[in-house]
């Protein structure tokens, strides 16, 4: 330890490092992460990514969102090229139908499409910015109206800017302002309205569900291997008695809203909200690290709610606790219903996941995971697996082998923050 002017600072850093190693098995100040202990016969691989914040931190939201919508983005560019060519052919004089003019029209349309996509990305990120407080208080029609106005304004400004860049000064004339610009505004409004309505409709039923309906993917029953997580709020019945049903509904709605980002960040697909419960699924793949997304998702949601504890306590006087059960196996997926059509999941896998969630309540655990799930998934760094337990589940004759999962550093984060704060105070006293 270095004595003198920086002695207390280095001592504080050393103390934080020692305490961190004792709690988590690795140091925050130097050295790499230690590999988590993996139970024999459960998984022969580990995932070095942190279960919570890391995925969100190193991969910006826009990149993740664009990656999930590459097909739509490619279709948007193709449609923009087609619209640019058609617009030139239908609305411009015959002498301007030259390759150079068509190229400018295509660039104009692609530029507008890129501007619209940028605005959409900004609005898609709105639920996790300060703008969400305004939009969430509005009915869906009001939210759609604001988004359409913003999109139309952005497309109009982009159209004028591109006109100045792509065309000589004579083309930016009084005639263009009185004839072409109003037409561009009308087209921008129509595109904004249709695109906004489609995206709101997608939000209502889910993007993948919408695609499945349009393509008829599950018009006939299909058997798929899926990872299924049932997650619900603990003690919701008691909360309803204490707070009243309407107030608890506000709490549940806020909770589902707040865990939506961790679910999306870990590529989960919300199948349904049922009371105080959400059902999330993932496709089962041959990649153990990808299959571990459901495990990381649960602890990312846990971390997200912990971050929002002051807001929850200020609004509701408590922080919601939740539990989950995760299982994997074959699921039969099919469209059902007529007056209201939906995609339904059937099979033993769904029943086992639901029963594991129920048993987590009885056992007082946060997360129960079946052995079948752990056999095909990497164990995310920072998580530990409890001892196996053969659980008799209601409605099932064969017991299920299940494991509890916990963070290696569940609660000491607060203690570490106090130690780090003391080290910072010591550093300030020395200067």
* pLDDT number for residue 370: 93
Are the beta carbons of 21 and 33 closer than 8 angstroms? no
**Residue 329 and residue 372: Cα distance in Å, rounded?**
8
pLDDT in tens, 186-215: 888 888 888 888 777 777 666 666 666 667
Confidence of residue 231 (pLDDT cuts 50, 70, 90): very high
CATH of domain 208-407: 3.30.70.1230
303-332 per-position pLDDT tens digit: 999 999 999 999 999 999 999 999 999 999
> Looking at the chain, which residues constitute the CATH 3.30.70.1230 domain(s)?
208-407
Q: Which residues contact 88 (CB under 8 A, 6 or more apart)?
A: 96, 97, 101, 102, 105
With beta carbons less than 8 A apart as the criterion, state whether 382 and 24 touch.
yes
CA distance 61 to 125: 7
Q: What is the mean pLDDT of the chain?
A: 75
Structure tokens belonging to residue 331: 């699921």
Distance of CA 2 to the CA centre of its chain: 46
Highest mean pLDDT among 26-35, 130-139, 274-283: 274-283
What is the model's pLDDT at position 3?
A: 40
Both structure tokens of 106: 């295509």
Say yes or no to pLDDT of 19 above 80: no
Residues paired with 126 in a beta bridge: none
Cα–Cα dist 69/205, whole Å: 16
Alpha-carbon span 274 to 285, nearest angstrom: 27
Angle between helices 70-91 and 61-68 (to 10 degrees): 80
Give the DSSP H/E element, type plus range, for residue 238.
helix 236-243
Please tell me which residue, 5 or 317, carries the higher pLDDT value. 317
Cα 41 to Cα 379: distance, rounded to the nearest angstrom: 12
**What phi and psi values does residue 297 have, to the nearest 5 degrees?**
-60, -45
* Percent of the chain clearing pLDDT 70 (strictly above): 70
Give the tens place of pLDDT for each residue, 384-404.
Answer: 888 888 888 777 778 889 999
91 or 162: which leads in pLDDT: 162
Host H or E run for residue 373: helix 371-375
DSSP 12-54: HHHHHHHHHHHHHSS-SSSSPPPPPP--TTT-S-EE-S-SSSH
In the 8-state DSSP scheme, what is residue 60? -
Residue pair 47/292 in contact (Cβ under 8 Å)? The answer is: yes
């Amino acid at each position: 330890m270095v004595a003198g002017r920086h002695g207390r600072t280095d001592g504080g850093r050393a103390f934080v490092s020692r305490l961190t190693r004792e709690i988590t098995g690795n140091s925050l100040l130097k050295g790499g992460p230690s590999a988590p202990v993996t139970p024999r016969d459960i998984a022969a691989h580990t995932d070095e990514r942190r279960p919570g914040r890391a995925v969100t931190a190193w991969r910006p939201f826009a990149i993740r969102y664009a990656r999930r919508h590459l097909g739509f983005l490619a279709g948007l560019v193709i449609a923009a090229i087609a619209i640019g060519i058609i617009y030139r052919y239908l609305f411009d004089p015959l002498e301007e139908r030259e390759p150079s003019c068509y190229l400018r029209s295509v660039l104009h349309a692609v530029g507008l499409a890129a501007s619209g996509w940028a605005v959409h990305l900004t609005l898609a990120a709105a639920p996790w910015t300060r703008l969400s407080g305004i939009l969430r208080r509005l009915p869906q029609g009001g939210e759609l109206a604001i988004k359409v106005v913003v999109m139309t304004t952005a497309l109009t400004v982009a159209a004028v800017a591109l006109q100045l860049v792509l065309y000589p000064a004579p083309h930016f004339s009084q005639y263009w302002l009185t004839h072409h610009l109003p037409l561009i505004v009308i087209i921008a409004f129509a595109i904004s309205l249709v695109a906004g309505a489609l995206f709101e409709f997608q939000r209502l039923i889910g993007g993948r569900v919408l695609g499945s309906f349009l393509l008829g993917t599950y018009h006939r029953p299909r058997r798929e291997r899926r990872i299924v997580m049932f997650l619900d709020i603990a003690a919701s019945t008691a909360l309803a008695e204490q707070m009243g049903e309407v107030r608890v509904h506000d709490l549940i709605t806020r909770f589902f809203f707040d865990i939506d980002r961790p679910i999306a960040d870990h590529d989960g697909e919300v199948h349904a909200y049922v009371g105080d419960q959400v059902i999330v699924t993932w496709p089962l793949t041959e990649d153990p690290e990808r299959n571990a997304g459901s495990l990381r998702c649960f602890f990312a949601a846990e971390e997200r709610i912990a971050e929002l504890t002051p807001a929850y306590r200020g609004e509701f006087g408590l922080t919601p606790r939740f539990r989950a059960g995760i299982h994997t196996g074959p699921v039969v997926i099919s469209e059902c219903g007529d007056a209201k059509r939906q995609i339904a999941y059937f099979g033993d896998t769904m029943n086992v996941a639901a029963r594991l969630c129920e048993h987590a309540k009885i056992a007082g655990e946060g997360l129960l995971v079946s052995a079948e799930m752990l056999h095909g998934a990497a164990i995310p760094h920072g998580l530990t697996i409890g001892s196996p337990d053969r659980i008799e589940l209601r409605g099932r004759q064969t017991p299920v082998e299940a494991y509890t999962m916990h963070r290696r550093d569940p609660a000491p984060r607060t203690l570490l923050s106090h130690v780090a704060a003391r080290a910072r105070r010591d550093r300030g006293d020395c200067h």
